[in-house]
Amino acid sequence: MESYNIPVEEVANYFLSKLDAETEDCISNLKLQKLVYYAQGFVMALKDKKLFNEPIEAWEHGPVVRCLYKKYKENGACAITRKENEDFDYSILSEYPDLMDILDDVYKVYGQFSAWRLRDMTHQETPWLETERNGKISDELMLAFFKTQITE
């Protein structure tokens, strides 16, 4: 499947840029992993193209992008603060305004849930259920599942 080739770290930075220091919003590594997973799935379903190329693996606590996990693992279950995160460069997505709309929708819908609620949600979904633990979740499973989640 073709890809937009946007680095997964930039997708994560986009979600982290949504944090407002004056609100109760927080994103832990676990929650960030799930937001990135949902972003990849919905971009695949809506655009027939991958958002990023890094593989998503089926770990014990749901879908994970290993390099992103390593980047934020020192946070443990604590929130990733904006000062720990590089500012997002919006020019990365400026040529794809429709992708920004999808990412905004993912954040609006899934960002309201806790990390553990998102974890539990992914544990009910085919891509995680049908992938061996620590194995790579296939593009085919992702595409087939997320196509069932969209209404046009």
Residue among 31, 39, 141 nearest 100 (CA): 39
Q: Give the structural domain span for 72.
A: 8-147
The total number of structural domains that make up the chain: 1
pLDDT score, position 30: 96
Q: Which residue shows structure tokens 């997964």? A: 8
Q: Would 1 be classed as within a structural domain?
A: no
pLDDT score, position 70: 96
Q: Would 93 be classed as within a structural domain?
A: yes
Residues 6 or more apart in contact with residue 135 via CB below 8 angstroms:
57, 58
Q: Would 116 be classed as within a structural domain?
A: yes
Q: Would 118 be classed as within a structural domain?
A: yes
Q: Would 2 be classed as within a structural domain?
A: no
Residue among 106, 100, 144 nearest 126 (CA): 144
Q: Would 3 be classed as within a structural domain?
A: no
pLDDT score, position 82: 60
pLDDT score, position 23: 56
Q: What is the pTM of this model?
A: 0.93
pLDDT score, position 20: 66
Q: Would 75 be classed as within a structural domain?
A: yes
- Give the pLDDT means over successive 10-residue stretches in the chain (152 positions): 94 86 74 98 97 98 97 87 62 87 96 95 97 97 97 70
